[in-house]
Structure 1
Amino acid sequence: MQQKGENMANSFRSIGLIARSTSVIGNQLFQRDDLQNNQFIYLMRIFENPGITQTELANQLHVDRSTCLRTVRKLIEHHYVARQSDAANKKLRPLVATDKGRAIYPELEAYEQHILAIGTHGLSAGEQLILEELLGKVAANVQDYQLTQD
């Protein structure tokens, strides 16, 4: 018989498996578009938040600044993203999706919706709401802990 702690460990392992699997599938799917190493996730967030700064993007994705910088540079190099100038603050260089980035977004969003549908297949609407609520709480707890470690 499994104990409570063992069940929780398996739940966290399941979260990791979901994250890795969806990342691998997305990387394979968008490799033909030169979007690798989770660049498609960054592009989605930039598209959804026009004018986001690189620091805000790193915070939103919970990655370190150097990882975010490398990924943004590659997105710029492949013409998916551009840096703008901020008239009020010359130090800020907000990020926006280019025409190429905007053109591929519907495919990225369709992938996200498809993965969500696969992942929640067989769950009732109520179960989906409970899952969303519980995962939100777990994510907030982990994020709060992470902030105490920095």
Structure 2
Amino acid sequence: MRMIFVNLPVKDVEASKAFFAALGFGHNPQFSDETAACIVIDENIFAMVMSHEKFSDFITGEISDAHKATEVLTCLSANSRDEVDDLLAKALAAGAKPWKPIMDMGPMYGASFQDPDGHVWELMYMDMAAMEEAG
């Protein structure tokens, strides 16, 4: 079984934990301390939010400022259009900023936001049955 860990530098680990909790994501204290927190997005998907000092231990060079330049797009699948809209609303209510306009391409529907540290998150629903019919 493969797992994915998205490692993100954050200014405030506790604020990041609160932000992701507002989206309904869990927290694994086994892999967390005052410098980092393991956010459980799904069974095999995790975000490791780390203080800048801790993140610096894992990289060479500088930490990019995600408010000024996009360093990565993290896209999460959704089970429905409603789930895309719901997660976007939760993110914005918890302090995220809108990023790109809603994307509605028939069987594909998506939204995006920047978390409080500027990291871009995309949410995407794909109606596979409709895509197969169109193909």
**TM-score, normalization: structure 2?**
0.30
Greater relative contact order structure (CA < 8 Å, 6+ sep) = 2
Report which of the two has the higher share of strand: 2
Q: Which structure has the larger Rg? A: 1
**TM-score, normalization: structure 1?**
0.28
